[in-house]
């Protein structure tokens, strides 16, 4: 009987692959036998990710691009197809917040910076929609493919002060349902689109908001922990299995 979770020979493109959650997931999936394409915005960080990836196996490559740049993504998509001939999975891991799209301490609701608000919507929402539209063309041609988006618990629960990011992640939930329905109706049962909604994991973006320099929780960090039954932040490896499960790629002939 086949191992339904075997990833050998699969090609997996990961955006935000220089970050904590998507970067860790990318390495985990490569270690399971997939060829992983590390996509990041910063050349130095992509180079570093690739150096580390090469210690896992030779099944890796990397490209630099902004996830909101459809022309750059088209070019990279073509390069991957020319080099590897197929793409099985797209993981949309790039995302994040900006101070102006959040109501800072001591600030009023009406102090929202609309410029930063728009940038956060663009990064998280368009930065998921654009790579999806680019790579899903190949999934359509292949009749198979798998997309995993990063939503957040803030999509469905009110996270005080955090408006732009929560709006964008709620829209990712909506987009995920829309895209999965359209793909299924138009192209059959080989293409799946899902999202995961992590709670709080410490990353460079939120560390200072949640943890003091002496390792204790900030007031905000403590509020989060109070609402978390495990009474701790997430560990990055806790998302790997969830994503692996979502990648079960049309292997029905067991
Ligand atoms: N850390 C958490 O608590 C948490 C919780 C819920 C959801 N998420 C989501 O998980 C995903 C990964 O987050 P993380 O915590 O690993 O953060 P991270 O900051 O470690 O990683 C985010 C990555 O996105 C990249 N990125 C940012 N803007 C980009 C752009 N315009 N083009 C290309 N790449 C860009 C960054 O370079 C970085 O590598 C994000 O979508 C985030 O919103 C994180």
> What are the domain boundaries of the chain?
11-199+237-246, 205-233
Q: Which of 82, 78, 55, 65 is nearest to 18 (CA)?
A: 65
Residue 102 and residue 30 in contact, taking contact as beta carbons nearer than 8 Å: no
pLDDT tens column, 86-117: 999 999 999 999 988 999 888 999 999 999 99
**What is the torsional sign of CA 46, 8, 148, 5?**
negative
Q: How far is CA 152 from the centre of its chain?
A: 10
Ligand 1: which residue has its CA nearest to atom 1?
201
pLDDT tens column, 192-238: 999 999 999 999 889 999 999 999 999 999 999 999 999 999 999 99
Task: State pTM to two decimals.
Answer: 0.97
* Distance between Cα 15 and ligand 1 center (Å): 9
Pocket test for ligand 1, best of 22, 26, 236 (most atoms within 8 A of CB): 22
Which residues approach ligand 1 with their CB closer than 6 A?
15-16, 18-22, 40-42, 66-68, 93-96, 123, 127, 150, 152, 198, 200-201, 203-206
Ligand 1: which residue has its CA nearest to atom 13?
21
Domain covering 11-199+237-246: architecture? 3-Layer(aba) Sandwich (3.40)
pLDDT band at 251 (very low <50, low <70, confident <90, very high): low
6 Cβ contact partners less than 8 Å away, ≥ 6 residues apart: 33, 251
Per DSSP, the three-state class of 116 is helix
- DSSP strand E in the chain: where? 11-15, 35-40, 60-64, 89-92, 145-150, 191-196
């Amino acid at each position: 009987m086949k191992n339904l979770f075997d990833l050998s020979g699969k090609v997996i493109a990961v955006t935000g692959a220089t970050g904590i959650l998507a970067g860790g997931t990318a390495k985990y999936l490569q270690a399971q036998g997939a060829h992983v394409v590390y996509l990041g915005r910063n050349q130095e960080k992509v180079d570093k990710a690739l150096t580390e990836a090469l210690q896992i196996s030779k099944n890796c490559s990397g490209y630099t691009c902004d996830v909101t740049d459809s022309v750059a993504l088209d070019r990279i998509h073509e390069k991957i197809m020319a080099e590897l001939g197929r793409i099985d999975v797209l993981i949309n891991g790039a995302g994040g917040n900006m101070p102006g799209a959040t109501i800072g301490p001591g600030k009023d609701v009406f102090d929202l910076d609309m410029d930063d608000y728009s940038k956060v919507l663009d990064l998280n929402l368009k930065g998921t929609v654009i790579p999806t539209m680019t790579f899903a063309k190949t999934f359509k041609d292949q009749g198979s493919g798998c997309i995993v988006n990063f939503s957040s618990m803030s999509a469905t629960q009110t996270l005080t002060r955090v408006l732009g990011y929560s709006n964008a992640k709620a829209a990712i939930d909506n987009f995920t349902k829309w895209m999965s329905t359209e793909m299924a109706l138009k192209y059959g049962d080989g293409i799946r689109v899902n999202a995961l909604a992590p709670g709080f994991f410490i990353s460079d973006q939120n560390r200072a908001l949640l943890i003091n320099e002496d390792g204790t929780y900030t007031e905000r960090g403590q509020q989060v922990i109070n609402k978390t039954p495990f009474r701790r932040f997430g560990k990055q490896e806790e998302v790997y299995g969830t994503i692996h499960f979502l990648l079960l790629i049309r292997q029905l002939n067991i």
